[in-house]
Amino acid sequence: MPDEERKLIERIGGMARRPPSTVVLRGIGDDCAILKLAKRHHLLVTTDLSIENVHFRREWHPPASVAYRCLTRGLSDIAAMGGEPLACFLSLGLPPRLPQRWVDEFLGSFEQLADRLRVPLAGGDISTAAAIVADIVVAGQAPSGKAVLRSGARPGDRIYVTGELGDAQADLEKLYAGRHIRAERASRHFYPQPRLEAGRFLARRRLATAMIDLSDGLSVDLEHICAESNVTATIHATAIPVARSATLEMALHGGDDYELLFTAPRKVRVPNQIAGLKVSEIGMILSKKDGPAGIQILDESGRSRTLRSRGWQHFAKKK
Amino acid sequence: MPDEERKLIERIGGMARRPPSTVVLRGIGDDCAILKLAKRHHLLVTTDLSIENVHFRREWHPPASVAYRCLTRGLSDIAAMGGEPLACFLSLGLPPRLPQRWVDEFLGSFEQLADRLRVPLAGGDISTAAAIVADIVVAGQAPSGKAVLRSGARPGDRIYVTGELGDAQADLEKLYAGRHIRAERASRHFYPQPRLEAGRFLARRRLATAMIDLSDGLSVDLEHICAESNVTATIHATAIPVARSATLEMALHGGDDYELLFTAPRKVRVPNQIAGLKVSEIGMILSKKDGPAGIQILDESGRSRTLRSRGWQHFAKKK
């Protein structure tokens, strides 16, 4: 084993070899991690790849940003089920000539976010690779039968979204346009935050009938809820909480905001604010029989058009 | 989303979108998979990267072999804890120009092994990547407190190994020597098998005090048990079950055999055969105070030498 690889394993081992907790009974150092779920809870598992030149570019994203984007992708999936994260696992492929500073900053930032959100690193794998690859796995739990699925939206339900949308896309378009922008800590493109508290609030109070995190963009993610719930939807352009730096188009189709999109029955009173986040009602779920073929968006004068879903853009370099 | 990516997601979605079972309550199609553990069981989690030109080479390993090597690595870690696999998750990064046939054969073979061992694919992720990368995650369970750790070996315990060793290394050396060998189904280098049944037998009967799977090679993996258990060991060269095609050196230092190495108290009667596998007693655990500094190997004339651990070789191409 090369010296650098051994050092890296020791470094990560140190991050994970904390005293065993009541949840992580055994972290790195055995063939498997051993975790203890609470009684009458189900296990949640999510895995997300972050690949250099696909999900991030080294010339755009500092290592600390790559770590945030990687871990938040996983945690946001737990948030979208209304779950509680128990532990994360990180599989890292690193090019042999990657500067040690890159690795140190990545791991330092990863550790910082994981610590702040109290999600211990309980395992993973390390390898050399031609380009950086990080696969994040998060294990979480939710009380049996209380995880919020994508498939629970019913005709008549109202559609809600937390926070503001389009911010991350606005930064991304600046990057594509070749503009130099600083990776500010406040930027949601560079340092996204999972909405764990809001997700758990909605699940615990049984307010949400369906939920998803906005990773691909509102138009795509609302389509996922509609497909899984076998319904359609209408949203109001004027009700979309467009971030100050963004346009309506960015808010509708931009990815990486990691806000929560959820539905709730018409008669349920959804708070205007949850866990410090503004909550906006943006539309309504319709039966496929009654509604038009696709998701509709109404503009301020009441004109309706079909909202075509436009997926999240990979950062693939143009060949 | 490119058409091929959509098709691939549908293909994998089809593999995972089986009717929900009593274990996998929700597979692909939501933000997280939802799994139900048995009562009074702990969760086991393991993740393993398989990267092109590191863990396999496309010119050596047919796609079906890559799938076996990938899934077995994960399942073997569950076997080594004496656990029961519940579900697997596959994160795949694939080069855009990878032939469709490669992907079909990989997935077909993955599905075949997963089906045979009754381990449903419950989720994962897909992305483009410069080289093939597959991260396998396996979630399993073991009755609370019954998972077999690496750290339980005690002075006086006997050391055992299942099956025969060195086979996989013998094939690997032929490949390195440039010899053309067919990827026979019977070859353990190309189509390794996880020893799940033997692992569970040893855990259920509480026979094993410590256990590990032989993925890195006997010398390295025995060192892991000694380090985690804070003991040392002596093994007998003549007792090592060397495979017919292999040499003693291959059996001592070759990786990828995926047999189980375990320890059991002296007075415990360990069967000669478990789940159809021969079981060989190969040595003894010693206290660090009494024993010599490193693991010793005794030859047939009783001469002792220190067993230097030699790690598993990555398949990195020589630059």
**Is the pLDDT reported for residue B172 higher than 50?**
yes
pLDDT exceeds cutoff 50 at B313: no
Segments making up each domain of chain A, as ranges: 3-143, 158-306
Q: What confidence category does residue A184 fall into, taking pLDDT thresholds of 50, 70 and 90?
A: confident
- Residue B297, phi then psi, degrees to nearest 5: -120, 130
Gap between the Cα atoms of A89 and B142, Å rounded = 19
- Output the pLDDT for position B185: 86
CB pairs under 8 A between A and B: 200
Structure tokens at B110: 């993955």
Does residue B257 contact residue B219 with C-beta atoms inside 8 Å?
no
Closest CA to A138 of A191, A193, A93, A85: A85
Q: Which CATH superfamily is domain A158-306 in?
A: PurM-like C-terminal domain (3.90.650.10)
CA distance B44 to chain A (A): 5
CA atoms within 13 A on the CB side of A141: 19
Q: Which residues pair with B124 in a beta bridge?
A: B90
Q: State the pLDDT at residue A17.
A: 61
- Could you give phi then psi for residue A52, rounded to 5 degrees? -55, 135
Q: Do A144 and B228 touch (CB under 8 A)?
A: no
Choose among A78, A144, A314: nearest Cβ to B32: A78
User: Does domain B150-306 match CATH 3.90.650.10?
Assistant: yes
Q: Is the pLDDT of residue B317 over 60?
A: no
Label residue B315 by pLDDT band (50, 70, 90).
very low
Query: Which of A12, A37, A45, A215 best probes binding to B when mutated, by most B CB atoms within 10 angstroms?
Result: A45
For A39-66, write each residue's pLDDT tens digit: 999 999 999 999 999 999 999 999 999 9
Q: Which residue has the higher pLDDT, A123 or B21?
A: A123
- What is the pLDDT at residue B93? 96
Phi, psi of B30 (to 5 degrees): -135, 180
Three-state SS at A85: strand
pLDDT computed for residue A315 by the predictor: 44
Average confidence (pLDDT) over B146-168: 97
Distance CA B81, CA B73 (A): 13
Alpha-carbon gap: B247 to the closest alpha carbon of chain A (Å): 23
Nearest to A91 among B124, B135, B314 (CB): B135
Kindly report the average pLDDT of chain A as a whole number.
92
Task: Report residue A205 CA to chain centroid gap.
Answer: 22
* Amino acid A87: pLDDT: 97
Distance, in Å, from the CA atom of B228 to the CA atom of B253, rounded to the nearest integer, reads 20
pLDDT (0 to 100) of residue B16:
64
Q: Across the interface, do A47 and B147 touch by the CB < 8 Å criterion? A: no
Mean pLDDT (chain B) is 92
Residues of chain A neighbouring B127 (CB-CB closer than 8 A): 49, 51, 54-55, 314
| Distance (Å) from the alpha carbon of B126 to chain A's nearest alpha carbon | 7
Cα→Cα distances A262→A284, A309, B199, Å: 11, 17, 44
Binned at pLDDT 50, 70 and 90, residue B9 comes out as confident
Q: Which of B45, B51, B87 sits opposite A93 (nearest CB)?
A: B51
Q: Is A208 helix (H, G, I), strand (E, B) or coil?
A: coil
Chain B: residue whose CA lies nearest to A124: B47
Report, as an integer, the average pLDDT of B53-79: 97
Query: What digits encode the pLDDT tens for the residues A241-253?
Result: 999 999 999 999 9
* Per-residue pLDDT tens digits for A255-295: 999 999 999 999 999 999 999 999 999 999 999 997 778 99
Percent of chain A with pLDDT over 70: 93
Cβ within 8 Å, pair A77-B31: yes
pLDDT for B8 beyond 80: no
- At B61, the pLDDT band (50, 70, 90 cuts) reads very high
Give yes or no for residue B91 having a pLDDT over 90. Answer: yes
**Would you state the pLDDT for residue A117?**
96
Distance (Å) of CA B82 to CA A137, A226, A279, B77, B143: 22, 42, 47, 9, 10
User: Which residue in the set A1, A81, A139 is minimally distant from B311, CB to CB?
Assistant: A1
Which comes out higher in pLDDT, residue B184 or B56? B56
Looking at residue B2, what is its pLDDT?
Answer: 61
Mean pLDDT, rounded, for B279-300? 92
Beta bridge mates, A51: A133
Question: Which chain B residues are closer than 8 Å to A35 by Cβ?
Answer: 42-45
Question: To probe the interface with A, which of B3, B17, B43 has the most A CB atoms within 10 Å?
Answer: B43
Q: Which two tokens stand for residue B289?
A: 């105070």
Under a CB-based contact definition with an 8 Å cutoff, are residues B313 and B223 in contact?
Answer: no
Q: Give the model's confidence band at B134: pLDDT under 50 very low, under 70 low, under 90 confident, else very high.
A: very high
Whole-number Å distance between alpha carbons of B82 and B142: 7
Mean pLDDT value across residues B15-41: 88
- Taking residues B76-105, what's their average pLDDT? 96
- C-alpha torsion sign, points A68, A70, A73, A75: negative
* pLDDT of A311 strictly over 70: no
Of A302 and A64, the structure prediction assigns the larger pLDDT to A64
User: What's the rounded Cα separation, in Å, for the pair B232 and B156?
Assistant: 10
Indicate the helix (H) or strand (E) that contains A252.
helix A248-253
| pLDDT value of position A18 | 67
Angle between helices B63-80 and B196-204 (to 10 degrees): 0
Structure tokens at B106: 């990989």
Would the CB atoms of B89 and A45 count as touching at under 8 Å? yes
Q: What is the CA radius of gyration of chain A?
A: 20
Q: Do residue B32 and residue A44 have CB atoms under 8 angstroms apart?
A: yes
Q: What is the pLDDT of residues A200-241, one digit of tens each?
A: 999 999 999 999 999 999 999 999 999 999 999 999 999 999
**Looking at the predicted structure, is the pLDDT value of residue B316 above 50?**
no
In our burial notation (b when 16+ CB lie closer than 10 A, e otherwise), range A218-246 reads: bbbbbbbbbebbebbbbbbbeebbbbebb
- Chain B: closest CA distance from residue A23 (Å): 10
Inter-chain touch A81–B228, beta carbons under 8 Å: no
Instruction: Provide the pLDDT confidence category of residue B50 given band limits of 50, 70 and 90.
Output: very high
Residue type, A308: R
- pLDDT for the residue B1: 53
Which residues of chain B lie closer than 8 angstroms to A44, CB-CB? 32-35
> B3-143 belongs to which homologous superfamily?
PurM-like, N-terminal domain (3.30.1330.10)
CB A234 within 8 A of CB A145: no
3-class DSSP assignment, residue A159:
strand
Q: Which residue has the higher pLDDT, B310 or A138?
A: A138
Residue in chain A lying closest to B42 (CA): A36
What would the 3-class secondary structure string for chain B be? CCHHHHHHHHHHHHHHCCCCCCCEEECECECCEEECCCCCEEEEEEEEEEEECCCECCCCCCHHHHHHHHHHHHHHHHHHCCCEEEEEEEEEEECCCCCHHHHHHHHHHHHHHHHHCCCCEEEEEEEECCCCEEEEEEEEEEECCCCCCHHHCCCCCEEEEECCECHHHHHHHHHHCCCCCCCCCCCCCCCCCCCHHHHHHHHHCCCCCEEEECCCCHHHHHHHHHHHHCCEEEEEHHHCCECCCCCHHHHHHCCCCCCEEEEECCCCCCCCEECCEEEEEEEEEECCCCCCCCCEEECCCCCEEECCCCCCCCCCCCC
Give the count of beta carbons closer than 10 Å to the beta carbon of residue A52: 23
Instruction: Quickly list DSSP for A215-228.
Output: SS-HHHHHHHHHHH
Do A48 and B89 make contact, defined as CB atoms within 8 angstroms? no
Q: Considering only A216-225, B150-159, B170-179, B290-299, which range has the smallest mean pLDDT?
A: B290-299
